[in-house]
Amino acid sequence: MKIATAVPQTPAEARALIRDGKFRRTTAGVAPGHAQANLAILPKDLAFDFLLFCQRNPKPCPILEVVEAGKTEPRLVAPGADLRYDLPKYRVYRHGKLEAEVDDLGEQWRGDLVSFLLGCSFSFENAMMNSGIELRHVQRGTNVSMYITNIQTTPAGVFSGPMVVSMRPIPHEKVVKAVQVTSRYPSVHGAPVHVGDPAAIGIRDIAKPDFGDVTEIRDSEVPVFWACGVTPQAVAMKSKPALMITHAPGHMFITDKRDEDYAVI
Amino acid sequence: MKIATAVPQTPAEARALIRDGKFRRTTAGVAPGHAQANLAILPKDLAFDFLLFCQRNPKPCPILEVVEAGKTEPRLVAPGADLRYDLPKYRVYRHGKLEAEVDDLGEQWRGDLVSFLLGCSFSFENAMMNSGIELRHVQRGTNVSMYITNIQTTPAGVFSGPMVVSMRPIPHEKVVKAVQVTSRYPSVHGAPVHVGDPAAIGIRDIAKPDFGDVTEIRDSEVPVFWACGVTPQAVAMKSKPALMITHAPGHMFITDKRDEDYAVI
């Protein structure tokens, strides 16, 4: 099968290539300017608790859309799309353990599954780069550094646990701008949760991220921390649901929405 | 019983007076600077659909807190408070019909009830007045004018229906300021949904509000429309739930949160 190498420029083009099995790579840089989403799929009996958890913790769990049980089309953010086929790669977890990585959900799908699309940091990263703030992990093509903090999320039903944050080194003179720019996007993680001291939020060693790659911090820079979309996955997994399906890391769902649609002002 | 006449200045004082049966009036002007909330209580079997409806329609249905089935303490916005006793007046509806107006929910309470606290326009009205924008209905002591529009909410499960808006006449030279100020508070209805032409959102006669009182609009003024917290009540009632309990109009729940806590920037 021929695998496309050019980066698709529109959401519809990207999803069509994915559905046809011609694009199985990470979605970074795909359909620039359009919001991408984390996917979390859970059985209906956990849906109220998880929706409430997201509502109580909007910074790490910003909901873009919830697709009700039995439905697979995210009508609000990508009419015509099908969540079973339109992501490049999925992970299937049973009782909190990774069972398989799959290309589509044709076999796994059940009528009682509720799908959550959650905002992704690509949106505010684009906004920062558009404002002239360079992001080292993007420039180097590495994964952003992520850390488990001592900031507790607000529990809901069976879901609870610490917040996971991502860290980006920001030059001193651009910290205010970075706060301002990301504050415009509360639906996609929004303003930082912390600026400056890793120890203040329970991070012992900034050189040892819990997820992702190490990122160099220069003397002229401040580590700035944002709530991370890994949080809801980590929290959900902790409750060991009988079945949970997510996107594979970096293999996001590409919506028709523009990043700018999520700007509050 | 002695009824207090002075206006309580703090949330705790106000709720204590209410719980003791010494304050049964509307809460406008009570505990200035603190956010007040609409209350909607529904049986658990409707809770997921209603939570999803609010999530999909954040402008008319901005959630401040959801108190899970069996619990009565809104721990996030007013620790120690009890939703059964701490509002001055409640309305009990069965199958969509008003059954009773009561002072507390001691008799009505059941373990399967889920309580939703939704943001209230008092918060952004205070912000506008602090910015020098005079509000006619506040000055005259009348109710704000409310209208059923042709703007459809996004349905969720059994809930659907048109958006209800409130209208405030704003002087031409203050329209931009009114948009800016209210945009800061997306959790309490936020920016206007429409500026200018009532007909454009399906309002036939601005002199005949569907709820509230008539408000004069002068030649130097523009009618500006905001999503209204009556929307979720109207939508919920339309589905004729076996039981639904709300605050009585104007008799809100007073939270410990400051209006400013809900400002995004």
Report which residue type is found at A155: P
Torsion of CA B136, B139, B140, B144, to 10 degrees: 50
Mean pLDDT of B170-196: 94
Q: Which two tokens stand for residue B262?
A: 């809900």
Mean pLDDT of A230-249: 90
Mutate to test the interface with A, among B52, B115, B117, B182 (most CBs of A within 10 A): B52
pLDDT band at B5 (very low <50, low <70, confident <90, very high): low
Q: Is the predicted pLDDT of residue B4 greater than 60, yes or no?
A: no
Helices B175-183 and B122-130 cross at an angle (nearest 10°) of: 130
Which helix (H) or strand (E) segment is B224 a member of?
Answer: strand B221-227
Residues whose CB is less than 8 angstroms from the CB of residue A21 and which lie 6 or more positions away in sequence, other chains included: A1, A103
| Cβ of residue A131 closer than 8 Å to a chain B Cβ | no
pLDDT band at B3 (very low <50, low <70, confident <90, very high): low
Nearest-CB residue to B68 (from A63, A66, A157) = A157
% of chain A residues with pLDDT over 70: 98
pLDDT band at B154 (very low <50, low <70, confident <90, very high): very high
Q: Which two tokens stand for residue B135?
A: 């509000």
Q: Do B51 and A56 touch (CB under 8 A)?
A: no
Find chain B residues with C-beta within 8 A of A46's C-beta: none
Q: Considering only residues B228 and A4, tell me which one the structure prediction assigns the higher pLDDT.
A: B228
| Cβ of residue A157 closer than 8 Å to a chain B Cβ | yes
Q: Do B264 and A156 touch (CB under 8 A)?
A: no
Q: In what order do the strands lie in the sheet with B221-227?
A: B145-152, B162-171, B221-227, B194-195
CB contact at 8 A, B177 and B113: no
| Cβ of residue A180 closer than 8 Å to a chain B Cβ | yes
Q: Which CATH superfamily is domain B122-232 in?
A: PSTPO5379-like domain (3.30.2040.10)
- Cα end-to-end span (Å), chain B: 45
- Beta bridge partner(s), residue B222: B170
Q: Is the predicted pLDDT of residue B174 greater than 60, yes or no?
A: yes
**What is the C-alpha separation between A225 and A145, in angstroms, rounded?**
10
Q: Which two tokens stand for residue B221?
A: 């003024």
- Beta bridge partner(s), residue B41: B115, B245
% of chain B residues with pLDDT over 70: 98
For residue B216, the model assigns a pLDDT of: 96
Mean pLDDT of B59-66: 95
| Range list of H helices, chain B | 11-19, 47-56, 122-130, 136-140, 175-183, 230-238
Least trusted range by pLDDT, from A43-52, B26-35, B62-71, B174-183: B26-35
Supply the DSSP symbol for B232.
H
Q: Is the predicted pLDDT of residue A123 greater than 90, yes or no?
A: no
pLDDT band at B49 (very low <50, low <70, confident <90, very high): very high
For residue B31, the model assigns a pLDDT of: 92
Averaged pLDDT score across all residues of chain B = 93
Least trusted range by pLDDT, from A175-179, A258-262, B3-7: B3-7
**What is the C-alpha separation between B224 and B128, in angstroms, rounded?**
13
Report which residue type is found at B241: P
Helices A47-56 and A230-238 cross at an angle (nearest 10°) of: 140
Give per-residue pLDDT as tens, A187-235.
Answer: 889 999 999 999 999 999 999 999 989 999 999 999 999 999 989 988 9
User: Regarding beta strands B34-43 and B113-119, do their DSSP bridges make them parallel or antiparallel, or are they unpaired?
Assistant: antiparallel
| Cβ of residue B58 closer than 8 Å to a chain A Cβ | no
How much is the CA Rg of chain B, to the nearest whole Å? 18
For residue A3, the model assigns a pLDDT of: 54
Q: Tell me which CATH code domain A122-231 carries.
A: 3.30.2040.10
**What is the C-alpha separation between B5 and B3, in angstroms, rounded?**
6
Distance from CA of A1 to the nearest CA of B (A): 40
* SS3 category, B75: coil
Q: What angle do CA B144, B146, B149 make, to 5 degrees?
A: 155
Residue B35 backbone dihedrals phi, psi, to 5 degrees: -75, 135
For residue A109, the model assigns a pLDDT of: 97
Distance from CA of A56 to the nearest CA of B (A): 8
Tell me which of 3.40.1640.10, 3.40.50.720, 3.30.70.2520, 3.30.460.10 is the CATH number of domain B11-120+235-259: 3.40.1640.10
Find chain B residues with C-beta within 8 A of A66's C-beta: 52, 55-56
Closest alpha carbon within chain A to B182: A265
| Spans of all domains in chain A | 11-119+233-262, 122-231
Q: Is the predicted pLDDT of residue A1 greater than 60, yes or no?
A: no
Nearest-CB residue to B66 (from A52, A68, A183) = A52
Q: Burial code of B181-214, b = ≥16 C-beta within 10 A, e = fewer?
A: bbbbbbbbbbbbbbbeebeebebeebeebebbee
Q: Considering only residues B249 and A73, tell me which one the structure prediction assigns the higher pLDDT.
A: A73
Q: Which of A115, A166, A129 is nearest to A29 (CA)?
A: A129
| Cβ of residue A110 closer than 8 Å to a chain B Cβ | no
For residue B187, the model assigns a pLDDT of: 85
Q: Which two tokens stand for residue A66?
A: 């919830």
For residue B169, the model assigns a pLDDT of: 97
pLDDT band at B143 (very low <50, low <70, confident <90, very high): confident
Q: Is the predicted pLDDT of residue A111 greater than 70, yes or no?
A: yes
Averaged pLDDT score across all residues of chain A = 93
Q: What is the pTM of this model?
A: 0.86
Question: Between residues 230 and 259 of chain B, which touch chain A (CB distance below 8 Å)?
Answer: none
Closest alpha carbon within chain B to A180: B265
Find chain B residues with C-beta within 8 A of A157's C-beta: 68
pLDDT band at A5 (very low <50, low <70, confident <90, very high): low
For residue B122, the model assigns a pLDDT of: 86
Q: Do B264 and A186 touch (CB under 8 A)?
A: yes
Indicate the class that CATH gives domain A11-119+233-262: alpha beta
Q: What angle do CA B90, B85, B16 make, to 5 degrees?
A: 120
Nearest-CB residue to B51 (from A52, A76, A190) = A52
Give the DSSP per-residue string, chain A.
-PPP-SPP-SHHHHHHHHHTT---S--TTSSTTEEEEEEEEEEGGGHHHHHHHHHH-TTTS-EEEEEPTT----TTTSTT--TTTSSS-EEEEETTEEEEEES--TTT--TTEEEEEEE-THHHHHHHHHTT---HHHHHTPPPEEEEEEEEPPPBTTB--EEEEEEEEEEGGGHHHHHHHHHT-GGGT-S-SEES-GGGGT-S-TTS-SBS------TTEEEEEEE-THHHHHHHHHT--S-EEEEPTT--EEEEEEGGGG---
Instruction: Note the Cα B12 to chain centre separation in Å.
Output: 20
Closest alpha carbon within chain B to A116: B52
Residue B229 backbone dihedrals phi, psi, to 5 degrees: -70, -5
